[in-house]
Structures are given as C-alpha cells and as structure tokens.
C-alpha cells in the first residue's frame, strides 16, 4: 500500500515555495485562485468521514453532505495562465481517497458507456429502473466524492442534454466539482443545438460552485516553447519527406501494418502502425465519424501519433474542426507525442473564429505549440529515437 500524501501544505504554501525557489514567478492572480482552492481543502479536512459501524452511519453522513455541501470551484481564463498547475497541486493535496481527476471528454465517454450498459441490463430484464441517470450517478458518486475536470468544455449535444440531470444527481449525493475552463459558465455551449435545454446546467453550476477568473497577464506556456522538428508547415512535398524521415526514426524503420482498435462492436481503423506509434492523415482522423471515445482509445493505445496534411479549418469544415479540437485534447491529456504537417502555424489554422469552435480553438492552438516544446516531449509516454 502506498503511503498517504502529505496534506500539511496548502496550495498557497506550495505556490509560495515554488516562487521562492525560482521555479515560478510571483503571480497575484494565481495566489487568489490558490486561496479559493485552500478553502475547499480546509472544508474537506473538517468533514468527518462516515462511520462504518452501522448502516445508519452511512445514511446520516449522506444526509449531512446533501444538507451542507462543500461548494466547489470553477476557474476560467485564457490559455497558459497556470490553471492546470493549480488543479494538479489541489488534487494531490485533497485529503480524501475517493477522488477523480479526468479530462472532461474522457469522463463523459465513461458516463455514456455506463448509460449504455444500464440500458442493456434493462433490455435483458436485469433491472426495472428505466431512467439510467440516477443509478449511473450513484455509481460515480460511490467512486469519487471529488471530481476534478481540467479544460471543462461542452461541444457535444449528447453531453449538453444530459449534464443538468447528471449533476443534479451528483450534487445531491454530496459530490464536489472543481474545474478549469477557457470560458465562463455563461459562454459554455454558446451556439449549440437546443442550447435552452442546456441552460439549467449553467444555473446548477452557479449554485454549487464558486466561479473565479484567472486573469494572469502572462502566458507561461509560451515561455517554455523550444521549437522542435515535430510540426511542419506548409504541408508540401518537403514536409512529407521530413515526416517520412521522422517516421523512420521513431519506428526504427520496422515494417508497418494496419491495425484495428475494437470499440463496442465496431472498430477504429489505424492505417499505419508500428509497436506504439501510429500514422494517420487528417482526413482519416477528422473526416470520418469518430468521436471523443475513439480518440481516447487511440491515445491510450499509442505513445506517438503522426498526422499528415492538416488543412486550413473554419466554418466550411465545422465538423472536421470540432473533431480536431477533441482529438488534440485527447492526445495532449494523455501526453502523446505528435508529429504533424499542416497548412499553417497553429494560430493560423482557423480561418474564421465563429461559433463554439472559435472559442475552443485558442486552446487547441496553444496545445499544438506546447506539444512542440522540450518540456512536453520530455514528459511523453515513451522515449523518442534520435532523428
């Protein structure tokens, strides 16, 4: 059994220590968010664990959580301001065993899978509960009292339609939500289909979480960038040659073959694979009917992914743009190394900022930049051969 983490530090103290050592710059905006996270840490430390001596102990503990819930935190701000770092510090210090930190797309893929399994049980006569949301919420709450989502975003109508009902159930069971996002709650799912059905979730968020802006003037990610030959523009024949050279180096020129990733009765085709490396064209990844769960499966299976011929994106390619945003989120969150050839630099790929994709693409561009940095590459899932 691993030793329990040291909960004596607060996020504020940890931030001050890193600033004093020179690892971080002093940032009042970050210190303000740290103090808000410390409020939740203090409340968690004061909450008494439920007694296991009797069933009544569990019942009364659950009632107390619902009656006097700990208010969570929703932090929004521009990319590269330190939101993820603060989330990591907070999560490592949270003094409870039942906690979960996940990318939002990954969490929702899990939710939809649980709903699917419940409906299969209903179909097979294994349950009489027609509504899958309460039992799924019960499962999730039993596994995690604290839910932490980095880069909270809503772009999928299936997610949007279920969030209000799901989190009504989760909050009623005492779950605490801490999330970071690029946009404030009122700007979530801004141009989405049937947005009026999503709006109750915004009201629910404002009731159960404190909303705070992180308005640091510095984009710390940009300071780390050390451009490496992993993102090539334009996507011409010269870029193709460099991509081929990188592919040979990563795969050690071993024979490649196509693969298939099994996904609930269907498959995600991988046209070129060698061990833990895979190569796709943009069209194969983003012009096909793939979603978050498919991209997460690719990120889980492979350490290095090559993407050839990323085109200019925008309203004329809205579905492709949406898929590309979700793809990069999945690869980034799983620390997958990415080699890509593209029509333009990340910040110039989106030709027109319009709709939900316009809000989200700033994060995608930032991540594409960071995925070129030595820091990101050194944290990747496997060692890269010398090129």
pLDDT in tens, 144-199: 999 999 878 887 888 898 999 999 999 999 999 999 998 899 989 887 888 888 99
Who's near 69: CB < 8 A, 6+ residues apart?
171, 174, 176, 208
pLDDT in tens, 126-135: 999 999 999 9
Is there a contact between 75 and 212 (Cβ–Cβ < 8 Å)?
A: yes
Is there a contact between 334 and 299 (Cβ–Cβ < 8 Å)?
A: yes
Q: How far is CA 107 from each of CA 148, 199, 285, 375, rounded to the nearest angstrom?
A: 10, 20, 21, 26
Q: What is the DSSP string of 76-137?
A: E--TTSSHHHHHHHHHHH---SSEEEEEHHHHHHHHHHHHHHHHHHHHTTS-----SHHHHH
Share of the chain above pLDDT 90, in %: 57
Predicted local distance difference test score (pLDDT) of residue 69:
82
Question: Which range, 53-57, 80-84, 106-110, 233-237, is most confident?
Answer: 233-237
pLDDT in tens, 50-73: 544 445 554 555 545 555 689 999
Q: Tell me, yes or no, if the pTM score tops 0.75.
A: no
Among 45-49, 114-118, 332-336, name the one with the lowest average pLDDT. Answer: 45-49
pLDDT in tens, 256-296: 999 998 877 788 999 999 989 999 999 999 999 999 999 99
Matching residue, tokens 């793809």: 327
Is there a contact between 151 and 318 (Cβ–Cβ < 8 Å)?
A: no
Domains contained in the chain, CATH given:
11-213 (3.40.50.300), 225-378 (3.40.50)
Is there a contact between 179 and 149 (Cβ–Cβ < 8 Å)?
A: yes
Listed residue (120, 103, 377) closest to 225, CA to CA: 377
Rounded Cα–Cα distance for residues 368 and 231 (Å): 8
Instruction: Evaluate if residue 311 carries a pLDDT over 60.
Output: yes
Q: How far is CA 343 from each of CA 237, 239, 240, 346, rounded to the nearest angstrom?
A: 12, 10, 12, 9
Rounded Cα–Cα distance for residues 47 and 97 (Å): 13
27 three-class SS? coil
pLDDT in tens, 180-194: 998 899 989 887 888
Rounded Cα–Cα distance for residues 319 and 327 (Å): 12
Q: Which two tokens stand for residue 212?
A: 């705070």
129 vs 358, higher pLDDT? 129
Q: Which two tokens stand for residue 133?
A: 């949301």
């Amino acid at each position: 059994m691993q030793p329990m983490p040291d909960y004596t530090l607060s996020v504020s103290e940890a931030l001050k220590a890193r600033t004093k050592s020179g690892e971080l710059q002093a940032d009042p905006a970050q210190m303000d968010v740290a103090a808000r996270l410390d409020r939740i840490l203090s409340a968690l430390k004061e909450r008494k664990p439920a007694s296991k001596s009797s069933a009544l102990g569990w019942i009364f503990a659950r009632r107390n959580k619902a009656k006097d819930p700990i208010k969570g935190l929703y932090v929004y701000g521009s990319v590269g301001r330190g939101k993820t770092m603060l989330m990591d510090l907070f999560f490592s210090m949270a003094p409870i065993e039942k906690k979960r930190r996940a990318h939002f797309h990954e969490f929702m893929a899990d939710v939809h899978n649980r709903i699917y399994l419940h409906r299969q049980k209903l179909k097979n006569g294994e349950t009489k509960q027609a509504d899958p949301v309460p039992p799924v919420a019960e499962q999730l709450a039993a596994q995690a009292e604290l839910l932490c989502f980095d880069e909270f975003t809503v772009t999928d109508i299936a997610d949007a339609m279920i969030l209000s009902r799901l989190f009504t159930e989760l909050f009623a069971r005492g779950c605490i939500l801490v999330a970071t996002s690029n946009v404030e709650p009122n700007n979530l799912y801004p141009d989405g289909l049937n947005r009026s059905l999503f709006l109750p979730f915004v009201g629910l968020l404002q009731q159960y979480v404190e909303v705070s802006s992180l308005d640091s003037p510095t984009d710390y990610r940009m300071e780390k960038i050390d451009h490496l030959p992993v993102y090539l523009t334009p996507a011409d024949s010269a870029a193709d040659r460099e991509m081929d050279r990188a592919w040979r180096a990563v795969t050690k020129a071993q024979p490649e073959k196509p693969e298939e990733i099994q996904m609930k009765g269907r498959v995600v085709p991988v046209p070129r694979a060698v061990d833990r490396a895979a190569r796709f064209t943009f069209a194969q990844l983003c012009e096909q009917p793939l979603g978050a769960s498919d991209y997460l499966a690719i990120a889980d299976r492979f350490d290095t992914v090559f993407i050839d011929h990323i085109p200019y994106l925008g309203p004329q390619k809205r579905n492709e743009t949406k898929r590309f945003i979700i793809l990069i989120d999945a690869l980034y969150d799983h620390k997958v190394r990415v080699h890509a050839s593209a029509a333009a630099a990340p910040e110039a790929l989106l030709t027109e900022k319009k709709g939900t994709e316009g809000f989200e693409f700033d994060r995608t561009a930032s991540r594409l930049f960071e995925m070129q940095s030595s820091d990101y590459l050194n944290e990747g899932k496997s060692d890269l051969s010398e090129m």
